[in-house]
Amino acid sequence: MRRARARTFVTVAGAVVAALAGVMPSRVHAHGMVGQRFFPATLAIDDPFVADELSLPTVSITKRHGSADEPPTLETDFSVELSKRLSPDLGISLGAAVLLLAPDRGPTIAGFDNMAIGLKYVFLKSAEHQLIVAGGVDIDVGGTGQERVGAEPFSTFTPSLFFGEGLGDLPGSLRYLQPLAVTGVLGLALPTRVATRVFNWGLTFQYNLQYLQSYVQDVGLPPPFNRMIPIVELPMQTSVEGASRTAGSVNPGIIWFGRYFQLGLEAVIPVHGNTIDLAEEPRQGSVGLLAQVHFYLDDIWPEVFTWTPFSGVLGPTQP
């Protein structure tokens, strides 16, 4: 997923959270559950779960500093992703994005990025250890986007390994670390044409305040804070051919989750102040913002959204 901003979004999101926090039920019916551990859908790194869910929209805004050939450019991305379970452990996702490039000199350019297709299978889940491991492949479908915004004419296949681990089984002496969880992804991007192969990797560190209140110690956090998860995401890319180079960002932020949806907001801080995409020439980049509204379709209307061709109606992921 891409980076983002929007002061208006932050204001509206804050108002929505404040209005809904008092009426949301105390129990969460969400897709990312392993034992007592709830994993939210993360904004920049794909989570290890399969679910019936919708990200609409994910908005990112970043400012690229100029180079010898290009003026400084404000990039705004609006994306949507729909995920669907085909069985309890197998899922597919479809994603699309519109990019707006606004250089300091010249007209704004708008267009579609390439379509994205993902397949994922969960092959290990341990409630006792709050552990989940999945494998999958993401496909960037070449030629489905528009060249004027940088969409590639060739496809890229990225086989990946996903994992999530909660620290709830730490000893009591470390109980305040028990709400912490880590998720991550490891994947190798394989283009269908001659191009630099890239190793995509990333980690998230998330501290679940509801887990703290429910399973460690009730510290008296009122709504909406008792439904928040402070998070840091580290989406990275490392080239595996020629001179090795790593690009990416550090994304500190917050996620608020309810029964039917969640709201997320993160800053996007380029590592070493450089570009966050290896496809670009190294140049200075400003701090950006990433925002998302994410819906739990399997809890909004389980009789409809959880139908699968192989297993019938699955019902809510967390009954």
Name the nearest CA neighbour of 92 among 57, 121, 134, 123: 121
CA 212 to chain centre: 23
Q: How far apart are CA 290 and CA 45, in angstroms?
A: 12
The pLDDT value recorded for residue 21 is 37
Q: Is residue 317 part of a domain?
A: no
The pLDDT value recorded for residue 14 is 41
pLDDT in tens, 133-171: 999 999 999 999 999 998 999 999 999 999 999 999 999
Contact partners, residue 53, CB within 8 Å, separation at least 6 = 31, 41, 82, 83, 294, 295, 296, 297, 298
The pLDDT value recorded for residue 277 is 60
The pLDDT value recorded for residue 5 is 38
The pLDDT value recorded for residue 12 is 36
Q: Per-residue confidence at 278, pLDDT binned at 50, 70, 90?
A: low
How many independent structural domains does the chain possess? 1
Would you tell me how many other CB atoms lie within 10 Å of the CB of residue 1?
Answer: 23
Q: Is residue 296 part of a domain?
A: yes
Contact partners, residue 50, CB within 8 Å, separation at least 6 = 83, 85, 88, 89, 90, 91, 120, 121, 122, 134
Asked if 119 and 136 count as a contact pair (C-beta separation under 8 A), the reply is yes
CA angle 287, 288, 290 (to 5 degrees): 145
Give the mean model confidence (pLDDT) for residues 186-207: 92
Q: Is residue 319 part of a domain?
A: no
Asked if 206 and 184 count as a contact pair (C-beta separation under 8 A), the reply is no
pLDDT in tens, 99-112: 999 988 889 999 99
Q: Is residue 242 part of a domain?
A: yes
The answer on pLDDT for 286 being more than 60 is: yes
Q: Per-residue confidence at 319, pLDDT binned at 50, 70, 90?
A: low
The pLDDT value recorded for residue 17 is 37
Q: How far apart are CA 230 and CA 244, in angstroms?
A: 32
* CATH number of the domain where residue 290 is located: 2.40.160.40
pLDDT in tens, 13-64: 344 333 333 333 333 334 688 999 999 999 999 999 999 999 999 999 998 7
pLDDT in tens, 220-276: 999 999 999 999 999 999 988 777 788 899 999 999 999 899 999 999 999 865 555
The pLDDT value recorded for residue 70 is 75
**Strand residues in 192-287 grouped as ranges (E):** 198-207, 228-239, 246-257, 261-270
Q: Is residue 318 part of a domain?
A: no
Domain that residue 280 falls in: 7-312
